[in-house]
């Protein structure tokens, strides 16, 4: 488990990973960049000119990351604070084809066959 780099007389230890409290959706900044994630899934053709739903969008990290490629992006999340942040981020980014709404995955407020792509990124 450990790499002992040098012979030691006095050894100091740092413990990492103590069982701790849960902080929901720590920070989307710690997730892979949207384009990097998209590249792994199959590249930009996956979203290009498509109608995209980001389910569990949080602060809109991924939705805004793919907005410039997609025809339209909808983001939905049960957390109103996260949706507030997503809307602020969208305004800041000047994204016009992105809409965010509060809602649950069990009752999506969209008609049948609305989207070409649904993304569950770190959601399920």
Partner 1 sequence: MVDALGEVHRVLAPGGILVDARPDSRVPAYAERRKPRGFQRFGLVRTSRLEVANDRASDLAIARVVRDGLFKRMRRGRFWQRVPFSDLAALRKYLSEHLRFVHRAEWVVDGATRKRHASDQFVLRRAVRYELLEALRQ
Contact positions toward partner 1, by CB under 8 A?
1-6, 8-23, 26, 30-32, 37, 40-42, 46, 53, 55, 105-108, 110-124
Instruction: Output 94 or 106, the one with its CB closest to partner 1.
Output: 106
Tokens coding 30: 């710690």
Rounded alpha-carbon distances, angstroms, from residue 22 to 14, 19, 39, 52, 84: 21, 9, 30, 30, 22
* CB 73, min distance to partner 1, A: 13
Q: How far is the CB of 68 from partner 1 (least distance, A)?
A: 18
Residue 94 CB, nearest distance to partner 1 (Å)? Answer: 26
CB of 25 to partner 1, least distance (A): 11
Which residue number, 84 or 120, has a Cβ lying nearer to partner 1? 120
In angstroms, the first-to-last Cα distance of the chain is 31
Rounded Cα distance, 78 and 64, in Å? 18
Which residue number, 5 or 96, has a Cβ lying nearer to partner 1? 5
Residue 2 burial (CB < 10 Å; 0-12/13-18/19+)?
Answer: exposed
| 92 vs 124 by CB, closer to partner 1 | 124
> CA 64, CA 94: separation in Å to the nearest integer?
10
């Amino acid at each position: 488990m450990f790499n002992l780099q040098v012979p030691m007389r006095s050894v100091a230890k740092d413990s990492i990973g103590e069982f701790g409290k849960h902080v929901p959706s720590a920070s989307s900044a710690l997730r892979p960049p949207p384009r990097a994630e998209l590249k792994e899934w199959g590249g930009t053709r996956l979203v290009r000119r498509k109608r995209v739903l980001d389910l569990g969008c949080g602060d809109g990290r991924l939705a805004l990351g793919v907005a410039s490629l997609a025809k339209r992006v909808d983001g939905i999340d049960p957390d109103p604070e996260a949706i507030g942040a997503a809307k602020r981020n969208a305004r800041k980014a000047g994204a016009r084809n992105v809409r965010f709404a509060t809602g649950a995955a069990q009752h999506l407020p969209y008609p049948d066959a609305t989207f070409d792509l649904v993304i569950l990124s770190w959601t399920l």
